[in-house]
Amino acid sequence: MSIVLQSILALFTVASSQSQSLPDCPYLPAFEALLKRLPDMKVDEAIVALARYRAEHDNPAACEALELDRLMSEREASRIHLVAGKARFQAQAVYHCTAYDLKTTTCDGDVADGTAHPFISGIRPLSIPDVTRLTILSKLSDAKLTAIYTSTFPDLLDGIPATRLSGQMGMIQIGRKTKPFVLIAIFKGTHLRAYLKAAWYFQ
């Protein structure tokens, strides 16, 4: 299995699974202690604690860096929702980026951008909403929505530029006969990276 696929799978391990270090890459005692405290923390408190640990350890072991990214992504995803009528959809994938391509939205970060490979990580597409107005809501206090894009699975795989949508206050419009699509939201200013990328998949 390639390093890219390993990174994607590691990022989206089921949230309920217990974090464990690898035999050849043990966690530091401080990280082990943090992992034990996480279940008792509220979401925002946990995000801050993970970010603080990352800031205090400039060069953590690769396995720790990957686990930090996964734990933060899971919690950040729970704070980002897409509202379609009475339905609310939590972000299905979150990536941290030092930079991203303004055309394709490809994210450059420690963990491989798996936006084009959702099925590898167990993500299943949602049903296309029966409403035309969608709204992206975020409860992340330090991340501001800066851009919204739409694309398709084939285009993501081929690296074809995504379509940037014009949306105010996170509100966008889609057609009534919309084909399967991927909705991508870019946020600026997160704990770990300059940008955060969230995605939803519809068919």
Q: Does residue 16 surpass a pLDDT of 70?
A: no
Which pLDDT does position 134 carry in this prediction? 92
What per-residue confidence (pLDDT) applies to 25?
74
Q: Which residues contact 13 (CB under 8 A, 6 or more apart)?
A: 70
| Residues 70 and 140 reside in one and the same domain | no
Q: How confident is the model at residue 183 (pLDDT cuts 50, 70, 90)?
A: very high
Q: To 5 degrees, how large is the angle CA 98–CA 126–CA 128?
A: 105
Catalogue the long-range contacts made by 15-23 (C-beta closer than 8 Å, 24 or more residues apart). Answer: 15/74, 19/67, 19/71, 21/63, 22/63
- Tell me: do 87 and 37 sit in the same domain: no
Number of folded domains that form the chain: 2
- Asked whether residue 102 falls in the same domain as residue 122, the answer is yes
Same domain as 184, residue 84: yes
The pLDDT confidence band at residue 9, using thresholds 50, 70 and 90, is very low
Picking from 33, 56, 77, the residue at the C-terminal end of a domain is 77
Same domain, 23 and 58: yes
The dihedral sign for the CA sequence 94, 185, 115, 134: positive
Range of the domain at 56: 3-77
| Look-up of token digits 């990280």 | 31
- Domain ends where: 77, 106, 135? 77
pLDDT score, position 23: 54
pLDDT at 146: 93
So what's the pLDDT on residue 65?
84
Beta carbons of 97 and 115 less than 8 angstroms apart:
no
- 33-37, 65-69, 118-122, range with the lowest pLDDT: 118-122
Distance CA 9, CA 4 (A): 9
Q: Contact at 8 Å (CB) between 95 and 148? A: no
pLDDT score of 12 more than 60: no
Question: Residues 60, 114: one domain?
Answer: no
Phi, psi for 188 (deg, rounded to 5): -110, 135
For 35, the token pair is: 């992992």
Residue 51 has pLDDT above 90, yes or no: no
Q: State whether 117 and 174 are in the same domain.
A: yes
pTM value is 0.83
Q: At what angle do helices 29-37 and 43-56 cross, to 10 degrees?
A: 170
Cα separation, 36 vs 55, in Å, equals: 19
Can you read off the two tokens belonging to residue 33?
A: 């202690």
| Residues facing residue 184 across a β-bridge | 149, 199
Q: Let me know whether 102 and 178 are in one domain.
A: yes
Based on the domain organization, do 198 and 105 belong to the same domain? yes
pLDDT in tens, 158-176: 999 999 998 777 888 877 6
25 DSSP assignment: B
Over residues 123-128, the mean pLDDT reads 89
Average pLDDT over residues 180-190: 90
184 and 135: one domain?
Answer: yes
Q: Lowest-confidence range among 74-83, 86-95, 147-156, 184-193?
A: 184-193
Task: Tell me: do 167 and 94 sit in the same domain.
Answer: yes
Largest CA distance in the chain: 54
Same domain, 70 and 149: no
